[in-house]
Chain A
Amino acid sequence: MDNAIPVLLLITVVGYMAGSIPNFTSVGSLADMSRQIGEFGLIVIGMTVVMLAGGIDLSVGSTFALADFTVLALVSVAKWPIALAIAAAVAVGALVGLINGLLIGYLRLRAFLTTLVMLTLVRAVVELLLQLYSVQIASSDVESDFWDFIGTGSVLGAPFSFVVLIATAIAAHFVLTRLRAGWRIMAVGGSRRSAYNAGIPVRRTVCQSYVVSGVLTSLAGVLYAARLSGAGPDTGIGLELTVVTAALLGGNSVGGGRGSIGKALIGAIIVSLLTNGLVRLGLQNGASSMVTGFVLLLAIAIDVRWAKWRYKLQSKVYVSPAYLALPPTPPIDAESSSPYAVNDRLSAVEIIGLGEVDGPEDVILDAADNLYCSVRQGDIIRFLAPDYTRREVYAHVGGRPLGLAFDRDQSLVVCIAGMGLYRVDEQRNIRKLTAETNRSRFSIIDDSRMRLADDLDIAQDGRVYFSEATIRYGFEEWVVDALEGRGNGRIIRYDPATGATRTILRNLLFANGMCIAHDNRSVLFAETWGCRLSRYWLDGPKKGTVEILISDLPGYPDNINRGSRGTYWVALAGTRTPAYDLAMTMPAFRRRMARRVAGDEWLFPNVNVGCVVHFDESGRILDSLWDLTGKNHPAITSMREHRGYLYLGGVTNNRIGRIGLPDADPEWTGPTSYWGGRP
């Protein structure tokens, strides 16, 4: 989308020029033009690198002239070998870049003015040098095939400078998108402070970007020198304007972080064609200055407004609610005979860690009865058995840790929203398992990256089955996904044996809780906005198929976990309301709401009151536990049974609850259920 306008503009300009200038598309004309684009494009790439890092380099015009002078003086007057002279000229450019970088990166001067001053300073130096040597340069001639090849030679029909440009562009693209140095530049430009906090050497990175610009500019100067063999006082005058215009016009953003080498090339080609075409249209002096100024103003105005309106526009277009008809709600009245009938059994919970945990989305217990939970600060908190009064930060994993599970080695595997699937071993070493899956073929947004890994469970063969709630929103935007009611979720399988990550189920309505069945032949999963639980067969005759287990929950299911005696638990994070259910059948209404009404006035799904539901292998509801008073655990997102107790966590709670289960097997624990007794 960002590239559409520049590309359209390019096509328009080419079309206009081709139509109005005779011989515009002839081979000779194209070769000549691409040679100039080669030189110009190099400088634009340098400028783009600087702009991506959040700066600007206006000194390019003078650096260009200085490099041009240096290489000519060294080759024709000092009679240096050509390769050495070129190296010296590039070194001079790098030096100018380094001075810029030291002043702006390390002394933190303002980039615009500093490079503007460097522009005049270097220009004055060039004029001083020209006074001394210009006659000698003009009177001597360079006799060298290599020199002529640089200036006028071709590689496979393409002018040498154009080939240099393409090679540089590919290399620069690779560095910016694949290598650490490039990522650092993008990070610094994207948010200087965050980059600093993330440990990136901001000052050095900024400094480097100017050196890159200096090197590329001087390279262009060398190519120019070889082509024209002239150094005059007007070399490179006003170049900085056209270069900045090109970089901006391609869609690179002032202030950094957004942009690419591809954009730089598009901009470079448009501006070269434009200025070149104006000359060939025979317009008088001043015209190119006028057009450059106008295009610059236009480009920056679009850039500024686009950056500002982008999110507004996006939020208007992006949210796309779908039609979702839920089955009728089962009764939950206290008087009804429904298994979901509200009761007050949770008012008897014991409280663990009141005020010491912030949003324990998931809770889990290890074989030694210690209690773990994932909290908002990006920590895994551990409460030590037997009384759970001692609290420690077990590991700081960052992100927003959600679902937890123990694997065969007693390592904690954790789903982290915004990061992916991670593993914390018994020595508390944190390791990323996976953060990317296969990209779906026709998806417009890049869904290979995991935005909201939610819950997981581990099969006997060690494969991790985990859910990603939605591919379209981050954790803090879950409510927008609820508003969409669209199948944005998916289930992903990570195989530690091969390291492969595959998406196995798509289009789920906020895929949430995951639980491997007791017989290890299937995995149960919850779809929160669909209010249903389903079973995905891992083995047996129905392998690879999905069947719905419970289709009409009275609320929004969250985590599912095993219970003793072959049963399961599921937490309902909230209960359905008639108004919201009705709204889900009216996508146009919800779209209008998303566009017209401020976010905090939207219709919300009720996530204030929920319960814990107990069910068996066949999906029959055995029981439900509610907190009628709403004091302790009105909203519950997870629960674990352990030695006759049920431990409760909630994504908005400040405590963990525990309640005795009279009917449960007092010896049953999760780790033994999954991995048997520990040797």
Chain B
Amino acid sequence: MFWGGVSRALLVRDQEKVVLLIAITLFCCFSIFLNGFISAGNLLTLVRSVSILGILGVGMAFLVIGRGIDLSIVAIYAMSAAWTLHLANAGVSIPLAMLLGYLLALAAGVINGVLIAYVEVPALFATLGMASLVYGFARYALVPLVVVYMPAGASGIAWVGGGFVFGVPIPILLFALIALLGHAFLRFTKPGRFIYAIGDNFAAARISGAPVRPIIVLQCVLSATIAYLAGMITATAVSSMDTNVTNSSMIYDVILVVVLGGIGLSGGRGGIRNVIVGTLLIGILLNGMTIMNVQYTLQNVIRGLILLAAIVIDSILNPRDELTAQQGDI
């Protein structure tokens, strides 16, 4: 038992390193065996392609560390940005359109938070229902089109997704910035520390006087805010937003990034560093598979298998605590 515990502790601490090692190994293999992988252009493309995933991963990480999950993050990401574009197309000024789009995201986040914290609906159900509600409501009432294009007059914000600073695409820099802010928030602010406390042992955090309910609402609001930012970056990068992304497997990629990086789903562990590591691994993998010309559907199968393996390993490394796990905590 003792040695099991020790080796498990080592593994937990080292999961991030193991994933990093795998990422580096894959990187080296691909560099050697795949033509064009190592080129600067491809590497920038690689990071850029997963920077959105990484940003969403940061938002997801806030909830997962607090033993929650946000399955509505992709729906908020897509629908709030799509509505912004639609409003702009309809002649609403860009700042106002952005404000309204953000308010949609914010409302979804607040409702999520209230449902989880005050109504005590399990986060999985609350956000699963919210994903469907946000998508359905936006499609029904706000955004009649499947794909919304950016209006020509919005060139003022096009730099967000399309610009470069010293040759580095701005989405990558924004990913870095959001990761840095997220890291600072989790490490150095009181609410950030409370998130860890809640994720580690909700009941203990509560009776110690942590404002658990407001903190949970805050988590959801942060995640919705980040989702909106990511949505705007995507929208400006590709000059459109495809609302079908809500029904794609993107949400699983976000979970994959977080879990693979080593943030345990049982909460209280990990940090933004894990998100970055997970993002890089997924980026390398996807990029490599694309260069190897692996069929998209097969890529999906492979990603599914990796996610399954990641969850199995996660549940072995971070077993659910029988004392703090609740009946019906599924």
- Knowing A110-B315, A117-B307, A254-B328 touch, does A293 contact B115 (C-beta < 8 A)? no
The listed residue (B124, B297, B315) touching A124 by CB distance below 8 A is B297
Do the beta carbons of B330 and A111 come within 8 Å of each other? yes
Let me know if A120 and B136 touch, CB within 8 A. Answer: no
Q: How far is the CA of A192 from the CA of B128 in the complex (A)?
A: 25
A residues in contact with B139, CB < 8 Å: 284-286, 289-290
From residue 364 to 382 of chain A, which have CB atoms closer than 8 A to chain B? none
Q: Which of A82-90, A297-305, A611-619 contacts B (4 or more CB under 8 A)?
A: A297-305
Query: Contacts A109-B311, A120-B307, A238-B247; is A301 near B119 (CB within 8 Å)?
Result: yes
Q: Is the interface of A mostly helix, strand, loop or mixed?
A: helix
Do A54 and B312 touch (CB < 8 A)?
no
Q: Are B300 and A117 in contact (CB under 8 A)?
A: no
- Beta-carbon contact of B265 and A120 below 8 Å: no
A598 at interface, CB cutoff 8 A = no
Contact of B300 with A120 in the complex, beta carbons under 8 Å = yes
Stretch in A125-133, A570-578, A626-634 with 4+ CB within 8 Å of B: A125-133
A120 contacts across to B, CB distance below 8 A: 249, 252, 300, 303-304, 307
Q: At the interface, yes or no: A648 with Cβ under 8 Å from chain B?
A: no
- Size category of the binding interface on chain A: 35 or more
| Contact residues in B for A128 (Cβ distance below 8 Å) | 295, 297-298, 300-301
- Of the candidates B69, B132, B138, the one having the most CB atoms from chain A within 10 angstroms of its own CB is B132
| Contact in complex: B327, A192 (CB < 8 Å) | yes
Pair B265/A254 contact, Cβ less than 8 Å: no
Contact mask for chain A residues 91-135; partner B; CB cutoff 8 A; 1 contact, 0 none? 000000000000100011111111011101101110110010000
- Name the contact of A117 in the complex, choosing from B120, B252, B320, B327 (C-beta under 8 A): B252
Q: How far is the CA of A273 from the CA of B303 in the complex (A)?
A: 36
* Structural contact, B311 and A117, CB atoms closer than 8 A: yes
Complex partner residue of A290 from B137, B255, B304, CB under 8 angstroms: B137
Which chain A positions have C-beta within 8 A of B327? 54, 191-192, 255
How many chain B residues have a CB neighbour from A under 8 Å? 49
B contacts with A: majority SS: helix
Query: B133 at interface (Cβ–Cβ under 8 A)?
Result: yes
Interface status of B195 (Cβ within 8 A of chain A): no
Q: Which of B283-330 contact A (CB under 8 A)?
A: 295, 297-298, 300-301, 303-305, 307-308, 311-312, 315-316, 319-320, 327-330
Do A107 and B315 touch across chains, with their CB atoms under 8 A apart? Answer: yes
A636 to B112, CA, bound (A): 58
B311: A residues at CB distance < 8 A: 109-110, 113-114, 117
Instruction: Verify if B140 is at the interface (C-beta below 8 Å from A).
Output: yes
Q: Which residue of A lies closest to B328 (CB)?
A: A255
Query: A279-293 CB contact bits vs B (8 Å, 1 = yes)?
Result: 000011111111111
A289 contacts which chain B residues (CB < 8 A)?
132-133, 135-136, 139-140
Task: Specify which chain B residues have a CB less than 8 angstroms from the CB of A117 in the assembled complex.
Answer: 252, 304, 307-308, 311
Closest to A297 in B: B129
4 residue pairs, one from A and one from B, having the closest CB atoms: A255-B328, A286-B139, A290-B136, A289-B136
Instruction: Out of A118, A244, A300, name the residue touching B121 (CB < 8 Å).
Output: A300
In the complex, besides A117-B311, A290-B136, A297-B121, 12 extra interface pairs with C-beta distance below 8 angstroms are A117-B252, A124-B300, A127-B297, A241-B128, A244-B128, A255-B328, A284-B144, A290-B140, A294-B133, A297-B130, A297-B133, A305-B120
Nearest A residue to B329, CB-CB = A255
Contact B136 A110 (CB under 8 A): no
Given contacts A117-B307, A297-B126, contact A124 B301 (CB under 8 A): yes
Partner of A256, one of B129, B133, B328: B328
Q: Does A55 contact B (CB under 8 A)?
A: yes
- A678 located at the interface, meaning its Cβ lies under 8 Å from any Cβ of chain B in the complex: no
Within 8 A of B (CB), among A213-246: 237-238, 241, 244
Tell me whether B149 is interfacial, beta carbon within 8 Å.
Answer: no
Q: A283 to chain B: which residues have CB within 8 Å?
A: 140
Known: A55-B330, A128-B297. A293 touches B140 (CB 8 A): no
With contacts A108-B320, A254-B330, A293-B136 taken as known, whether A300 is within 8 angstroms of B297 at the C-beta atoms is no
A107 to B311, CA, bound (A): 11
Distance A308 CA – B118 CA, assembled complex (angstroms) = 12
A104 to B130 alpha-carbon distance, docked (Å): 25
Q: Which residue of A lies closest to B69 (CB)?
A: A113
A192-B327, A286-B139, A293-B130 known; A301+B115 contact, CB < 8 A: yes
Q: Give the nearest-CB partner of A234 in chain B.
A: B247
Q: Is B144's CB under 8 angstroms from A110's CB?
A: no
Contact, CB under 8 Å: B330 / A124: no
Q: Is A56 an interface residue (CB 8 A)?
A: yes
**Cα A116 to Cα B256 with chains together (Å):** 12
Interface flags for B182-197 (1: CB within 8 Å of A; 0: not) read 0000000000000000
Tell me the bound Cα distance from A128 to B312 in angstroms.
24
Assess whether B330 is in contact with A300, with CB atoms less than 8 Å apart.
no
Give min CB distance, B27 to chain A, whole Å: 25
| A296 interfacial contact with B, CB 8 Å | yes
Judge whether B308 and A54 touch: CB under 8 Å: no
Interface flags for A123-158 (1: CB within 8 Å of B; 0: not) read 111011001000000000000000000000000000
Q: Which of chain B's residues 70-115 have a Cβ closer than 8 Å to chain A?
A: 115
| CB atoms of A107 and B265 under 8 A apart | no
Assuming the contacts A120-B304, A121-B305, A241-B128, asked whether A56 and B330 have C-beta atoms less than 8 A apart, the reply is yes
| Contact between chains at B330 and A304 (CB < 8 Å) | no
Q: Which of A108, A241, A296, A297 counts the most chain B CB atoms within 10 A?
A: A297
CA distance A55 to B329 in the complex (A): 9
Q: Please name all residues of chain A whose beta carbon is closer than 8 Å to the beta carbon of B252 when the two chains form the complex.
A: 116-117, 120
Using Cβ atoms and an 8 Å threshold, which residues of chain B touch A285?
139-140
Are B134 and A293 interface neighbours, CB within 8 A? yes
Most interface-central of A55, A254, A283 (chain B CB within 10 A): A254
Question: Please, which residue of chain A has its CB at the minimum distance from the CB of B299?
Answer: A124
| Complex Cα gap A513–B162 (Å) | 88
Q: Which residues of A contact B138 (CB under 8 A)?
A: 286
Q: Assess whether B247 is in contact with A293, with CB atoms less than 8 Å apart.
A: no
Q: Which B residues touch A255, using CB under 8 A?
A: 327-330
CB of A308 within 8 A of CB of B120, answer yes
**Shortest Cβ gap from B160 to chain A (Å):** 27
Residue contact A241 to B300, C-beta cutoff 8 Å: no
Q: Specify which chain A residues have a CB less than 8 angstroms from the CB of B163 in the assembled complex.
A: none
* Complex contact A292–B132 (CB within 8 A): yes
Bound Cα distance from A74 to B66, whole angstroms: 47
Picked from B140, B300, B305, B312, the residue with its CB within 8 Å of the CB of A127 is B300
